[in-house]
Amino acid sequence: MGLFDKLRAELIDIIEWLDDSRTTLVWRFPRYQNEIKNGAQLIVRPGQIAVFVYRGQIADVFEPGNYQLKSENLPILGTLLGWKYGFNSPFRSEVYFVSTRQITDLKWGTQNPVMLRDPEFGPIRLRAFGTYALKAVDAKALLKELVGTDGEVEADEIGELLRSIIVSTMSTILGEQQIAALDLAANYRGMSETLRKAVQEQIDDEYGLAIPNLQIVNISFPEAVEKALDTRSSMGVIGDMNKFQQYKFGEAMGDAANNPNGGAGDGLGMGMGFAMASRFMGQPGYVAPGVAGGAPAAGGPPPLPGAVQWHVALNGQTMGPYTPAQVQQAIRTGQLNREALVWSAGMDQWQLAGQSPLASLFTVSPPPLPPTP
């Protein structure tokens, strides 16, 4: 290599940044020990800003464009170098490129739940997460406060700082606005803009950054609270709880009737049928299946004087007494059949239901049709 080739190799004549990433915020041109040639070309592409730094001091700033570096367009650097009548020799200076494009799809979230006092649930813990976009708006402030001497700065490197600011501000907003937990989802848009503006006020002047977009994606409750809300929602969908419980009783009675254990299943189904009749017909009576003599229904008045009361024998145990309306309901639902033993005041002994005064309540099946001629 000749002398002129060696000197040419030590001089830089084109300064540019071919950015092939979407997350790099600041990049320093790798000058090393080389000197910048007098009249070198500086290429600043759209979405970039070039900043010259000489011995730790920020000098000239260039917007997008193509420049030939002369003393005319390097006034601050010329002052720092002491050029009185222009410069003709190479010079040394660090050149930083700052991306001014939006860096999108950055994520934030609460590592620990935020404790709040909800007007409906009382003290409650909430977690929140979302996305935000980042953009450099003041290259000088960014270089002074966050870059220092780093040769390359990615958005993730300052992400921890920004996430902590967002989460702290989010906690303050939740406490100030006091929106009910169940109404938070309906206020995501307004809260997102309020949060963005509050964060922007903290980082604009100090760090030279902007948050052009910030979204709250979700605010979640603890698992126990979510289960309680699911239960409440289910109850709301059910509507009439009495009808729902009556339906569940009917399902349980059907399962008991199909139980292969036989008598035990029959007794359970019969007892649940009488309990259902006593509960849902709102009649006075006793609702204690499987307990001899029964027990008064909770909160129900005692039977009227002189009212007919019926007892039923199941699996060697006495159940009742039951009102005629309850017995009729049990017969209608198939819980009381003709072979069941019943007794009422005035009867000498237990009788089959089909042979007792209750016989008329059982539906008589029609005879078979005569054969066709």
Average pLDDT over residues 11-29: 87
Report H helices in 36-131.
75-81
pLDDT for the residue 200: 92
* Cα–Cα separations (whole angstroms), residue 259 to 15, 91, 265, 268, 337: 87, 97, 5, 10, 18
Three-state DSSP string of 175-211: HHHCCCHHHCHHHHHHHHHHHHHHHHHHHHHHHCEEE
Please check the confidence at residue 214 and state whether its pLDDT lies above 80: yes
Q: Which residue has the higher pLDDT, 46 or 282?
A: 46
Tens-place pLDDT, residues 129-140: 999 999 998 888
pLDDT for the residue 11: 78
Domain 103-226 homologous superfamily, CATH: Band 7 domain (3.30.479.30)
Average pLDDT over residues 241-246: 60
pLDDT for the residue 107: 92
pLDDT for the residue 303: 57
Where do the domains of the chain lie?
A: 3-99, 103-226, 240-361
**What does the DSSP 8-state code read for residue 144?**
I
Nearest Cα to Cα of residue 135 among 44, 22, 212, 207: 212
pLDDT for the residue 288: 38
pLDDT for the residue 141: 87
Minimum mean pLDDT among 4-13, 53-62, 82-91: which range?
A: 4-13
Encoding tokens for residue 253? 């009675």
Q: Answer for the pair 188, 61: CB distance below 8 angstroms, yes or no.
A: no
